Structure 1
């Protein structure tokens, strides 16, 4: 009676998503049935013990074979293939998939297990670059799921079909299928592993096409889903990355960096280190915006060590550091090797900036026009804002403020609606530049001053400095040449006596220079003066 009670308590823990308790009690159980072994495997996977998950699945597979239940064995073989593939052991995963196919060969054609094995085939076709074949398989998975009323299979089929429709340029259709998949997840109809995979696929798709409103809504839902399962290990890293992406959009750079660093820690703990590449790339982007170029480059390098190419962020970093030829080579290569509209959409905006910096105005114009067409077809606000910004940038480069101004204003409005302060400020800079070319200096100064204020609040030093130059500000704060020398030595950590010795001055004269520096720069201390010098590139 005690054993039965323990098993019932284990099953109850599983149902309430208390994965650690379910795992502990099921692992201690004896004479587990196939359904209990599948629950044990699921709980083990969700608490991050993949080895225990695989052992439970192997026991379940052998039990089903011994009981003469080939379809049950196929289910366990499917999961073994999936778990091995998820942890990067593709050869082993393919072996289990092949075994499942062999078991299914003698079974009727019209059984739902065929749909599950098509999932493995879908990812093989995708890996081989056969998008048409993968789309066909995704459609078949969805049809089988509907026929058998299988919620897990339906969620996976809709994700497969939806993502491939997006990559083939049919973005609204693809998003509609992803939304349908998420309805089943939100309604609790989908088992936890399929639910987690669906959440992450949906948010990743939204980020790819800059559909920030959808990404934000589903990231909030994913966070709630993870929070209801305190022992959960998978998906929490992805959740942190997606939260960080939304925080970055809203200009909360410090909080975003904390989320990305948390994601890296979670990925390391779960063994999914390759996934840390995206988080490190996102860190690099924020550090680049803040002007910490050395740290940004280190983050991009670390991302590359995990097999993630941190582009177009690295190209923009090269541009910021004056390495325009390298940036040009990178964006030309990326555009040449990226064919589908979804992935090109994230490259085109940065490509416009790099191409203009290199003097290739016609190429930049073509990229901006392509981005505008993509944004219209996709119907995503973020892409529209990026396209309008790019069109304005090209028009200004051609000295055409009449065409630049409406595009820049639309970019400002759309980014403002998305609550993206950095992008709003960048668009305001273009509005200000257009006003200046049209002879409206007061309006230009107002827009540029507003942008400076935002960049200062965000800590986006490079962008702020560029706008200050447009405003014709004396970034040296009116300092004399001698005062500038003193400031540089202060920023290098020299005392008054050391400065006096270096410049052949008296200590009293150095003190007077410091008083003038503090007054002109409106700073209260040596530390603040040194920070001003660093922020304004006076060193």
Structure 2
């Protein structure tokens, strides 16, 4: 940024110099205060207004960001600095869009384009900022081939300049365009280039945050679990080094982090991060993605058996414009409302079937959003085969088989995506098992478990083990069934997956018998094992002490123990609570 002249007055000069230095260090609160004070003493030049706008953005003062970027744009445009003005217009449009002010964002985009046309600046490097806005509009409209064409056009412009933000953002956009156009390998490689650029530390903080979040989001959508985790860890380190970073992009960073934590089994941390993301994204800027934060919160609540909290979180996700499927459908299944779950998931599949297509040979995507189907298909198989009756209804089994076959087509199209291979193996194995072909199901399920282990996804691994146990029991191998079921139980207990643990504990064949604890009793026994008194447990679970005492008595009876110490020992020995859990 330009505008490095010192300003007038010793105090102003000191604040200005210190403010610039604070920006370089990422001390955003300090930078904001110093530059605001310097601006009050003597109006800042355009380059320093941009610095102050970035500091305001990073600490969540987005109204100030908009005001400051308008000033910077006008200063640059008034002095004939068209390129810097276009840069300001880009970030101004992005900030307005974060606040849901899409009409104003469009006005400023048009205004910047008129400035570029009037000054014949279509060949200047910063004109690529306007092309970035064009590409984003095309992306949102689903016009991916056109988005890719614009991205390729802006590449030479970015290379001709010396703007690290522009280089990183163009690489990111090119990568997205390639991925969405079906060139998955080339697109992911290009996204890695963008991430390498931001990891080098040259782009601005706001560009770094944006590129991190967008790339991780694409990796999650395309089931690139290892990539998403690697870049999420790097993002977490970057955020930790900037504790003042509390703006809207920080909330989006948290949403992606929640997904990684949930997959890795770190559910308490996932809940904490999700709640922080919800708070940050509902403060006026970032509401467009707040639904994603609530959806992730709902997912963790559902897995932990906190159904009322999950219901509320999914409702909040819907309120902020986020599709709460397949989470709501899976919640209905967990609540024992299978018919409702089946109706919901069938409606969701039908709603996407007319606008999507299974990828063709070589991973070339069809029309629309095929990956939106991948999000639904595993849940569809789970719901359609998830019956407590002796046999799955024929219509449900047929629909489950079609869903598994479609998922297998995705796995075949993207053979290097380990998570898709595991998802497909689990789904096809579940269908074969439900159809009475346990022997055919086992190889697929065992392969899925191996892949889940490679990806370090413990919950998914445990769910597949439950199916393996069922298949082994069907084939008369009770000993292997018991081993698989015990392994699943221990994982569910360690994670706090109360509904899954209750179902696995009620299944026949586990070693040391069936503990038979309800989800609430499992919560009580974990707190009891941690040394909690009835009073403390009541406060933690928002129950009366009389209710807790009744749960403790029931736990003693089901575990066949006579004391709190014996109950705690049983819980640790049988994996109902991990020894390292608080």
TM-score normalised over the length of structure 1: 0.85
Query: Quick one: which of 281, 300, 313 aligns to 1:286?
Result: 300
Cα deviations by residue, 1:35-64 (Å, 9 ceiling, x for unpaired) = 112112111211211222222222222223
CA distance in 2, matches of 1:56, 1:453: 55
Corresponding position: 1:438 with 2:475? yes
Corresponding position: 1:351 with 2:364? no
CA distance in 2, matches of 1:314, 1:244: 18
List alignment gaps of at least 5 residues for structure 2.
1-8, 357-368, 387-391, 518-537, 577-582
The structure-2 alpha-carbon separation of the partners of 1:318 and 1:149, relative to structure 1 and needing over 3 Å to count, comes to same
Cα deviations by residue, 1:461-498 (Å, 9 ceiling, x for unpaired) = 322232233316886879xxxxxxxxxxxx998989xx
Cα deviations by residue, 1:184-243 (Å, 9 ceiling, x for unpaired) = 001112122111100001111122122221111111111111122222122322333333
The structure-2 alpha-carbon separation of the partners of 1:451 and 1:384, relative to structure 1 and needing over 3 Å to count, comes to same
Q: Secondary structure at the match of 1:10?
A: helix
Contact 1:171 1:377 in 2 (8 A): no
Query: Quick one: which of 122, 147, 156 aligns to 1:134?
Result: 147
Query: Quick one: which of 445, 464, 467 aligns to 1:427?
Result: 464
Query: Quick one: which of 552, 560, 566 aligns to 1:521?
Result: 560
Runs of 4+ in 1 over 6 A off after TM superposition: 491-496, 514-517
CA drift at 1:525: 6.1
The structure-2 alpha-carbon separation of the partners of 1:392 and 1:49, relative to structure 1 and needing over 3 Å to count, comes to same
Paired position in structure 2 for 1:144: 157
CA distance in 1, matches of 2:75, 2:36: 16
Paired position in structure 1 for 2:520: none
Corresponding position: 1:465 with 2:502? yes
Contact 1:141 1:154 in 2 (8 A): no
Query: Quick one: which of 254, 260, 264 aligns to 1:250?
Result: 264
CA drift at 1:28: 2.4
CA distance in 1, matches of 2:405, 2:270: 32
The structure-2 alpha-carbon separation of the partners of 1:97 and 1:251, relative to structure 1 and needing over 3 Å to count, comes to same
Paired position in structure 2 for 1:8: 17
The structure-2 alpha-carbon separation of the partners of 1:515 and 1:438, relative to structure 1 and needing over 3 Å to count, comes to closer
CA distance in 2, matches of 1:42, 1:525: 56
CA distance in 2, matches of 1:243, 1:390: 26
The structure-2 alpha-carbon separation of the partners of 1:292 and 1:54, relative to structure 1 and needing over 3 Å to count, comes to closer
The structure-2 alpha-carbon separation of the partners of 1:92 and 1:400, relative to structure 1 and needing over 3 Å to count, comes to same
Query: Quick one: which of 46, 49, 52 aligns to 2:61?
Result: 49
Cα deviations by residue, 1:74-97 (Å, 9 ceiling, x for unpaired) = 333333222212221010010000
CA distance in 2, matches of 1:427, 1:495: 38
Contact 2:28 2:244 in 1 (8 A): yes
Corresponding position: 1:388 with 2:425? yes
Q: Secondary structure at the match of 1:28?
A: helix
Query: Quick one: which of 395, 408, 412 aligns to 2:445?
Result: 408
Query: Quick one: which of 82, 91, 98 aligns to 1:79?
Result: 91
Contact 2:502 2:516 in 1 (8 A): no
Q: Which has the higher helix share?
A: 1
Corresponding position: 1:341 with 2:370? yes
CA drift at 1:277: 2.0
Query: Quick one: which of 298, 301, 320 aligns to 2:334?
Result: 320
CA drift at 1:244: 2.6
Moved more, 68-77 or 390-399: 68-77
Corresponding position: 1:302 with 2:341? no
Contact 1:477 1:521 in 2 (8 A): no
Matches within 5 A, 1:111-126: 111-126=124-139
CA distance in 2, matches of 1:85, 1:123: 11
CA distance in 2, matches of 1:403, 1:221: 41
Paired position in structure 2 for 1:511: none
Indicate the structure (1 or 2) with the bigger Cα radius of gyration: 1
CA drift at 1:270: 6.4
CA distance in 1, matches of 2:555, 2:190: 66
Matches within 5 A, 1:269-280: 269=283, 271-280=285-294
CA distance in 2, matches of 1:110, 1:469: 69
Cα deviations by residue, 1:397-426 (Å, 9 ceiling, x for unpaired) = 121122211111011111112222221111
Q: Secondary structure at the match of 2:426?
A: helix
List alignment gaps of at least 5 residues for structure 1.
479-490, 500-513
Q: Secondary structure at the match of 1:105?
A: helix
The structure-2 alpha-carbon separation of the partners of 1:521 and 1:68, relative to structure 1 and needing over 3 Å to count, comes to same
Corresponding position: 1:331 with 2:370? no
Number of residue equivalences: 503
CA distance in 2, matches of 1:476, 1:16: 55
Paired position in structure 2 for 1:363: 399
TM-score normalised over the length of structure 2: 0.79
CA distance in 1, matches of 2:150, 2:53: 27
The structure-2 alpha-carbon separation of the partners of 1:271 and 1:101, relative to structure 1 and needing over 3 Å to count, comes to closer
CA distance in 1, matches of 2:162, 2:544: 72
Paired position in structure 2 for 1:487: none
CA distance in 2, matches of 1:227, 1:472: 47
CA distance in 2, matches of 1:516, 1:113: 68
CA distance in 2, matches of 1:392, 1:123: 40
CA drift at 1:149: 5.2
The structure-2 alpha-carbon separation of the partners of 1:152 and 1:427, relative to structure 1 and needing over 3 Å to count, comes to same
